[in-house]
């Protein structure tokens, strides 16, 4: 399943580099997004390296999910595609 990284998870004074907000194509409700919790997420860098993560929770009411990756994500990941398995 294909998705797009929307942004880092952030607070007022902090940005969490390992946690990303992901928008999944075709999922627009919170109920549908709940079915993705626990699935694996993979991001490929332009150099060909893979960073793996896991969908941890639903984010908001419009079908976005939060994913936690194994290490910090670069800024160039925002707006790029990820694969959910």
Looking at residue 14, what is its pLDDT? 93
Could you give the CA distance from residue 47 to residue 41 in angstroms, rounded to a whole number? Answer: 18
Looking at residue 59, what is its pLDDT? 95
Q: pTM of the prediction?
A: 0.88
Interstrand relation of 40-44 and 15-24 (parallel, antiparallel or unpaired): unpaired
CATH topology of domain 2-84: Thrombin, subunit H (2.40.10)
Looking at residue 6, what is its pLDDT? 95
Looking at residue 7, what is its pLDDT? 95
Burial of 58 (0-12, 13-18, 19+ CB in 10 A): buried
Task: State the average pLDDT over residues 8-29.
Answer: 94
Looking at residue 54, what is its pLDDT? 96
For the chain, the domains span 2-84
**Model confidence over 39-85: pLDDT tens digits?**
999 999 999 999 999 999 999 999 999 999 999 999 999 999 999 99
């Amino acid at each position: 399943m294909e998705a797009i990284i929307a942004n880092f998870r952030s607070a007022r004074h902090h940005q969490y580099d390992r946690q990303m907000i992901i928008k999944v194509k075709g999922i627009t409700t919170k109920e549908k997004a709940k079915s993705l919790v626990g699935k694996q997420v993979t991001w490929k860098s332009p150099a060909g390296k893979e960073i793996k993560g896991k969908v941890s929770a639903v984010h908001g009411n419009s079908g976005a999910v939060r994913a936690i990756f194994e290490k910090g994500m670069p800024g160039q990941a925002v707006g790029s595609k990820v694969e959910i398995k």
